[in-house]
Amino acid sequence: MRAGEPLFAVEGRVYWADSDAAGIAHFTSFLKYCERAEEEYIFHVMGDPGGGIPGIVFPRVHVECDYRVPLRVHDRFRVEVVGVEPGRTSIRWRFRIVNLTLQDVSAECSIVSVAVDSRTGRPVPLPEDLRRALTGE
């Protein structure tokens, strides 16, 4: 995942609520940071739709994270969207989280989410406007 420039990035700080008793960001906090970057990226490419995609939710069906360097309380970090791979009903997101305090990669993560009709709970094809925005077409 290290190669190439990120498609998009957001920055943040590790707060007490994100950490464990040792003052290290809890592993689940990394997934929250990735989800925030995913949402901001969708706002960015879709022209800030505000309320998301009407009638569709995107539950996660698979996550992976390789943790490298800890993020500690009050460290600054950057979440980089380094890959977006839309499928028929799903999107695979790839992220790199950089500890800006240490200037090193803290984690490399991947999340797969599926477009689901919020009423029926069934997978649906990705909306074409979202697909076009994600692929740059």
Segment 58-81, tens digit of pLDDT: 999 999 999 999 999 999 999 999
Instruction: Write down the pLDDT at residue 75.
Output: 98
Instruction: Write down the pLDDT at residue 1.
Output: 46
Instruction: Write down the pLDDT at residue 49.
Output: 62
Low-confidence ranges of the chain (pLDDT < 70): 1-3, 49-51
Helix (H) or strand (E) segment spanning residue 132: helix 128-135
| pTM, rounded to two decimals | 0.92
Dihedral angle over CA of 69, 74, 5, 57, nearest 10: 100
Instruction: Write down the pLDDT at residue 51.
Output: 61
Question: Which domains does the chain carry?
Answer: 8-135 (3.10.129.10)
